[in-house]
Structure 1
Amino acid sequence: MKIGIIGAGSIGGTLTRRLSALGHEVRVSNSRSPETLSELAAETGAHAVWSSEAALDADLVIVSIPQKNVPDLAAGIVDTAKDGAPIIETNNYYPQQRDGLIADIENGKPESVWVAEHLGSRGADVVKVFNGIYWKHLLEKGQPKSAADRIALPVAGADGPGKALVFDVVEQLGFEPVDGGALADSWRQHPGTPVYGKDFDADGVKAALAEATTERAPEWSAAPA
């Protein structure tokens, strides 16, 4: 599969490593020049490209950048992917720790819905996954389907071939995909929810998603003025 990755931080870089090792053709970019990713490219065999080139002809695109930087993405940055290609977004809103106030999210809009709106015409293809797993566990703790201690990951997005493809990618990486509902339900896996940062099995993920509430914990809200 051709996979374009926009963002080469902890999660984006880890997915570059894992997906390249599985034999996928990976194009990876960051907010700077391809030369700044030369070590990652040499290590993995991935192609370091400008961010405007990452999605070109991709079967799958992954956006893994700080939430505050989403509005800075070039218009149409994912539009060069193949028709129907899903757009995974792994982002989290960290208002006190990094991102500052994003009013729409503070007022209740799910983080992934906000990201999808900024991705324009391809927003309908957005799927939320990988936002709550520690990057070292993503790198090291994938297990065969038969493993009793296999970690499960919630996947939120519209039902259809795109979401099914994302389920398959999660499986390939050695994790158990659990249906997290539509993109509008992705708040159930936000920072501070029962599933976030936990290495639950499938039953544990389902229970944690069901226990989530829309109330944002103080540490995951913008600091009062």
Structure 2
Amino acid sequence: MSYAIIGFGKIGQALARAFARRGIEVSVATTRDPESFASAAAAIGPEIIPKKLAEAVKADIVFLAVGYKSHQDVAKALSTWQGKTIVDVTNAYGVPLEELGGQPSSRVVAQAFTGGRLVKGFNHLGAAVLEQDPAVHGGRRVVFLASDDDGAAEEIGALAESLGFAPIKLGGLSEGGLLVQGRGNSWGQLIFKDLVKFD
């Protein structure tokens, strides 16, 4: 299984740290030349591999950690996303609801990634929290996942576990997705809720 993070701002780097902590290799890419962020990637760890966008999107699982409005540019990197799982880490806060057609933002994102399986996840925590070790006081930091594809949710749940998090599945995008999204001028009820699960 191969992994990529598209977007290398604060959230992208926080996700990269989660992979590096577990010694799991992950490609990172932006629309810029890989050399422009190679030193930042190297500072996180040898597992973080800077690549061109066209190379990074060949991964099996792609984390979309760009600004919401950039998701369409990333989607155009492949003609089909068949066989790939996309983890939507974006928030459409400030995007007018009319632009979303009244849908959850993650459903709009899913439509752009033709043929791919989309899971909303890892977006409810700020970068400063997301980048910390998820082992907290003997428990594990929770990440919420929502998807209309149960198999994809299982797959990302297993990855979240291997990264040290406690995944909690919230159901489909229309129910669970609304709880963990920013859209328009409101935040879902679970955004910024930093919860810890004790087994």
Name the TM-score class by shorter chain. Answer: 0.7 to 0.9
Partner of 1:212: none
> How far off its partner does 1:51 sit?
1.1
- C-alpha contact (below 8 Å) 2:83/2:115 kept by paired residues: no
Match of 1:188 among 169, 176, 179: 179
Tell me the secondary structure at the aligned position of residue 119 of structure 2: strand
Matched, 1:134 2:104: no
What CA distance in whole angstroms lies between the structure 2 residues aligned with 1:136 and 1:24?
Answer: 21
What CA distance in whole angstroms lies between the structure 1 residues aligned with 2:189 and 2:122?
Answer: 15
Deviations 1:146-165 (A, max 9, x none): 924x3322100134332212
More helix by share: 1
Give the AA of the match of 2:119: V
Give the AA of the match of 2:88: E
What CA distance in whole angstroms lies between the structure 2 residues aligned with 1:73 and 1:47?
Answer: 18
Partner of 2:90: 91
More contact order relative to length (CA 8 Å, sep ≥ 6): 2
Counterparts in 2 of 1:78 and 1:37: CA distance versus 1, 3 Å: farther
Tell me the secondary structure at the aligned position of residue 87 of structure 1: strand
What CA distance in whole angstroms lies between the structure 2 residues aligned with 1:78 and 1:171?
Answer: 31
- C-alpha contact (below 8 Å) 1:14/1:138 kept by paired residues: yes
Identity over aligned residues, as a percent? 27
Normalising by structure 1, we get a TM-score of: 0.75
Taking the TM superposition and a 5 Å limit, the aligned residue runs for 1:155-166 are 155-166=145-156
Taking the TM superposition and a 5 Å limit, the aligned residue runs for 1:1-225 are 1-43=1-43, 44-45=45-46, 46-56=48-58, 58-73=59-74, 75-77=76-78, 79=80, 84-95=83-94, 100-101=95-96, 103-105=98-100, 107-122=101-116, 125-143=117-135, 147-148=138-139, 150-185=140-175, 186-191=177-182, 192-201=187-196
- C-alpha contact (below 8 Å) 1:86/1:163 kept by paired residues: no
Normalising by structure 2, we get a TM-score of: 0.84
- C-alpha contact (below 8 Å) 1:85/1:162 kept by paired residues: no
Counterparts in 2 of 1:39 and 1:126: CA distance versus 1, 3 Å: same
Tell me the secondary structure at the aligned position of residue 190 of structure 2: coil
- What's the C-alpha RMSD, in Å, of the aligned pairs? 2.4
More strand by share: 2
Give the AA of the match of 2:155: L
- C-alpha contact (below 8 Å) 2:118/2:149 kept by paired residues: no
Tell me the secondary structure at the aligned position of residue 122 of structure 2: coil
Larger Rg: 1
Give the AA of the match of 1:189: V
What CA distance in whole angstroms lies between the structure 2 residues aligned with 1:70 and 1:26?
Answer: 20
What CA distance in whole angstroms lies between the structure 1 residues aligned with 2:79 and 2:65?
Answer: 13
- C-alpha contact (below 8 Å) 1:51/1:77 kept by paired residues: no
What CA distance in whole angstroms lies between the structure 2 residues aligned with 1:18 and 1:67?
Answer: 22
Tell me the secondary structure at the aligned position of residue 61 of structure 1: strand
Gaps of 5+ in 1: 204-225
Give the AA of the match of 2:17: R
- C-alpha contact (below 8 Å) 2:7/2:30 kept by paired residues: yes
- C-alpha contact (below 8 Å) 2:28/2:51 kept by paired residues: yes
- C-alpha contact (below 8 Å) 1:55/1:79 kept by paired residues: no
Counterparts in 2 of 1:110 and 1:202: CA distance versus 1, 3 Å: farther
Q: What is the aligned residue count?
A: 191
Counterparts in 2 of 1:40 and 1:158: CA distance versus 1, 3 Å: same
